[in-house]
Amino acid sequence: MSADDIRAKITRVYGGVSAQWELLIDLDFEFAESYSEYLDAAYAAAELEPHIRELLLLAHDASMTVLEQRGVNERIRRALQLGASHREVLDILELLSMISTHSLAIGLPLVFDPSDYTVPHSTTGGYWDAFEGPFPGVHGMMAEHTPRLFSAYRSMGKTLWRKNGLAPKWRELALVVADLSTTHLYAAGAKLHIDNARHYGATNAEIVAALALTVPFSENTIAMGLRALADLDIEAPRVTNSDPSNE
């Protein structure tokens, strides 16, 4: 693999090659080679249409546990360029507002005993029944102790699951990607949304391809560190490997 091959992979994943990547290629070609392949493999699964891939990456980067502005800008730009509608972009951003409920789902059972609460009639059937399994009593606690918030929460759910816009399986997989970002790792929510995605027709291959989209965010560690290294303006030692095309 040449330096240009590395640059091509990084451009495919991130839309361009940063100064930090150029520095990495210069300082440690062998790692740049293997890492670029790792990132490209995580990104480029054939099971996802290009605009869907960008929308799922948007769900990762725009989630309230990540908030990666550079990524949000790039993913929206590329999603629209690849044929996504503004409605689909909005669907992703609006769905992510519900990540805020995770604190309630975890916190309320720490305050109250779930076995003391029944399921409110307004949250029975369909999607609501699927929620009650992994989160028993949460809706009952919300209904009793935060009735106004519970009513608003139910209204939000109806609004978010309108029948136009992004297909249901992709909505569910967007939430899977957000739940399993390395800054969140909310397994209970991810399992619920994986099951729902399957219900709406998602294949195992599509689900796995979506999970792999949590990998490209790891590049931020390298970029941040190399930016700091470059700012020190000290000559860094080079690892003893090189671009074979230069030999």
pLDDT above 70: percentage of residues in the chain: 94
Residues 69, 73, 75: CA angle, nearest 5 degrees: 115
The pTM of the full predicted model, rounded to 2 decimals, is 0.89
Residues 6+ apart with CB under 8 A from 156: 97, 98
pLDDT at 244 over 80: no
Q: What is the mean pLDDT of residues 210-239?
A: 86
pLDDT at 212 over 90: yes
Q: Which of 18-22, 38-42, 233-237 comes out lowest in average pLDDT?
A: 233-237
Quote the CA–CA distance of 113 and 172 in Å, as a whole number: 29
Residue that is written with structure tokens 């100064």 in the block: 19
Question: 45, 47, 52: which is closest to 85 by C-alpha?
Answer: 52
Question: 29, 30, 5, 35: which is closest to 222 by C-alpha?
Answer: 35
Quote the CA–CA distance of 55 and 92 in Å, as a whole number: 7
Measured CA to CA in angstroms, residue 176 lies from 10, 70, 91, 117, 204 at distances of 24, 21, 15, 28, 13
Model pLDDT for residues 113-125, shown as the tens digit of each residue? 999 999 998 888 7
Q: What is the mean pLDDT of residues 208-215?
A: 98
Tokens representing 149 are 């918030």
Residue that is written with structure tokens 């990132």 in the block: 39
**Chain-centroid distance, C-alpha 26:** 30
Q: Are 238 and 26 in contact (CB under 8 A)?
A: yes
Confidence of residue 43 (pLDDT cuts 50, 70, 90): very high
Instruction: Count CA within 13 A, CB hemisphere, residue 159.
Output: 11
pLDDT at 240 over 60: no
Confidence of residue 235 (pLDDT cuts 50, 70, 90): low
pLDDT above 90: percentage of residues in the chain: 83
Model pLDDT for residues 73-120, shown as the tens digit of each residue? 999 999 999 999 999 999 999 999 999 999 999 999 999 999 999 999
Q: What is the mean pLDDT of residues 216-244?
A: 79
Q: Which amino acid is at 217?
A: F
Model pLDDT for residues 150-194, shown as the tens digit of each residue? 999 999 988 888 778 899 999 999 999 999 999 999 999 999 999
Identify the pLDDT of residue 239: 60
Q: Mean of the per-residue pLDDT values for the chain?
A: 92
